[in-house]
Chain A
Amino acid sequence: MAMAPNMRTEDAARQAAAPPTPRARRAKRLIPVAVPALLLAASLALPGFMFSSDRRPDVPGLGPAAWPNAVLALLALCSAIWLFSEVWLLVRGRVSTSLATPHDEDVYHYGKALTGILLVIAFGWLLPIVGFALACAGFLLVWCLYGGLRHPAVLLLVPTIGTVALLWMFMGLALMPLSRGAGVFDRFSVWLLQLLGIY
């Protein structure tokens, strides 16, 4: 289930992210049609993917599929209504008002936004591999550069102090088992935690 809206919104994001050329504007007009269409398709197709094992024991009552099926059927119905009204508007050449981009900001740097998203994803991806300490320090360093901070003192102090403080707060005090990373990174993390007196 998590993947379907993902596909849908990534698609929408790609269209929304483009610079406002006439083609992009046309694409933007298609979003209110594409979103319900994708949702409709997903809600109709998903019931078939509900169970990945074929073992269907004889169950009492309504069974585990009843609720998701009902939710998805309602979702399909609502998406169909929305799709219908959007297509209706499109055919009659009127502008859809159902989805409105927030107007409260004057500038929106799509490039910067996408870079930011990529940085966040990279951080999450590195987390279990290099461990929390290294990922956190690295992320803070890159994020500061990305945010336009160039002062060497800032670039040195924010990642180191930030990481040590977070390590102490969450691994030292709250005893959370944050990732130490794999292999050599694990040994480094253990060494670091012992150095800091957390272990």
Chain B
Amino acid sequence: MTLNALLKAALTGAGSAALIASAGMAAAQEYPERPIEMVVTFGPGGGADLMGRQMGRLMEKPLGVSIPVSNVAGASGNAGLTRLRTDPADGYTMGTLISLTVASWASGLGDSKPEDFQVLAVVQNSPSFLFVPASSPYQTAEDLFAYAKENPGELTVATSGYGTQDDVTLKLLARDGVQMENVPFQAPGERYASPIGGHTAVLYEEPGDVAQFLKAGQLKPLVVFSKERHPSFPDVPTSVELGYDISGLDNFRTVAVRAGTDPAIVEKLQSAVEESVASAEWQTFCAETYSCIQPVTGEEAQAMIRDFLQLITDQLAS
């Protein structure tokens, strides 16, 4: 009871904050005049955290203010988005919005919608792969898929959960006859340790999150779920080449602000993001994580979020 009342009070407070804040439009010229908060929607140490911290650090130079990171983790990233959505739309709060969170909306989490956010830019994008441990009996995708076809459901795949794009990919593979068991691991560390230790047959992941294991030769990429081969892995065949039409389920990471932010401020932030992405430091970072892309901005970026949500919603419904 107390909880309810307190929550309501907090939400009313936040609501009135938004109303008052929209009055100060003239502030766009002087923007930014104080630190900008970077809300990372996951805990420290993950891919979204590294991206947010790297981006925040690089954006400090063009914007000339400090950009402290705050990790607001919870509910697949939706807790941080609630914060982003309820803070004033004055450009002093930006946050990370990633594909995993968008996919979670399809299974009913959170109450955010794509139109609640103004995406500054999609800054990282990477297709997912299937990896096997170095000692695996299946050293090519053909071997793996052939075995899975003959022994449906016998191979296990470590993923991030049911109802995610990982799950959708496995469902699409199963539709085409390759049936493997989805094994969700909530903690990324355990997700990678399990196949490396030989406890799970296959790992579904984007290469950037397992870069250290790839470099050490502990994991071997077998197939990329994409239309084109990944430039860093030219020898790894695509799912489309192998006859499985599975693509468009890439892992993307964006930086966003609340919808309704002054266009002049959005433009300033956007150019700061673009400048940061062009920096040598960012290029090293994204090359290390196999996720370099030309930043996608504006309406195109908004459309990317909407289409991705639609795709996952359709696939989960079928």
**Chain A interfacial positions (CB closer than 8 Å to B):** 2-3, 6-7, 53, 55, 57, 59-60, 121, 124-125, 128-129, 175-177, 182-184, 186, 190, 193-194, 199
- Size category of the binding interface on chain B: 20 to 34
Of A7, A57, A182, A183, the contact of B1 (CB 8 Å cutoff): A7
Indicate if the CB atoms of A199 and B17 lie closer than 8 Å: no
Q: How far is the CB of B37 from chain A (nearest CB, A)?
A: 5
A198 to B69, CA, bound (A): 16
Interface 1/0 per residue, B161-183 and A, CB below 8 Å: 01100000000000000000010
Of B6, B17, B34, B182, the contact of A182 (CB 8 Å cutoff): B17
Indicate if the CB atoms of B2 and A53 lie closer than 8 Å: no
- Nearest 10 interchain pairs by C-beta: A182-B17, A175-B68, A183-B20, A199-B34, A177-B70, A129-B13, A182-B13, A53-B108, A177-B37, A55-B108
A177 to B71, CA, bound (A): 10
Question: Which A residues are in CB contact (< 8 Å) with B163?
Answer: 57
Q: How far is the CB of A41 from chain B (nearest CB, A)?
A: 16
Interface 1/0 per residue, B68-83 and A, CB below 8 Å: 1110000000000000
Indicate if the CB atoms of B316 and A176 lie closer than 8 Å: no
Q: Is B35 an interface residue (CB 8 A)?
A: yes
Question: Which B residues are in CB contact (< 8 Å) with A121?
Answer: 2
Number of A-B pairs, beta carbon distance below 8 Å: 52
A193 to B65, CA, bound (A): 14
Given A7-B1, A177-B37, answer yes or no on A57-B316 (Cβ-Cβ < 8 Å). Answer: yes
Indicate if the CB atoms of A183 and B70 lie closer than 8 Å: no
Indicate if the CB atoms of B68 and A182 lie closer than 8 Å: no
A125 to B11, CA, bound (A): 12
Indicate if the CB atoms of A194 and B20 lie closer than 8 Å: no
A142 to B14, CA, bound (A): 26
Indicate if the CB atoms of B162 and A60 lie closer than 8 Å: yes
Q: How far is the CB of A51 from chain B (nearest CB, A)?
A: 9
Q: How far is the CB of A8 from chain B (nearest CB, A)?
A: 12
Indicate if the CB atoms of A182 and B108 lie closer than 8 Å: no
Interface 1/0 per residue, B246-274 and A, CB below 8 Å: 00000000000000000000000000000
Of B3, B35, B37, B182, the contact of A2 (CB 8 Å cutoff): B3
Q: Is B216 an interface residue (CB 8 A)?
A: no
Of chain B, the residue at the smallest CB distance from A185 is: B17
18 A-B pairs with CB atoms under 8 Å apart are A2-B3, A3-B3, A53-B108, A124-B6, A125-B6, A125-B9, A128-B10, A175-B68, A175-B69, A175-B70, A177-B70, A182-B17, A182-B20, A183-B21, A186-B17, A186-B21, A199-B34, A199-B35
Q: Which B residues from 1 to 56 make CB contacts under 8 A with A?
A: 1-4, 6, 9-10, 13-14, 16-17, 20-21, 34-35, 37
Indicate if the CB atoms of A194 and B34 lie closer than 8 Å: yes
Q: How far is the CB of A138 from chain B (nearest CB, A)?
A: 16
Q: Is B294 an interface residue (CB 8 A)?
A: no
Question: Which A residues are in CB contact (< 8 Å) with B13?
Answer: 128-129, 182
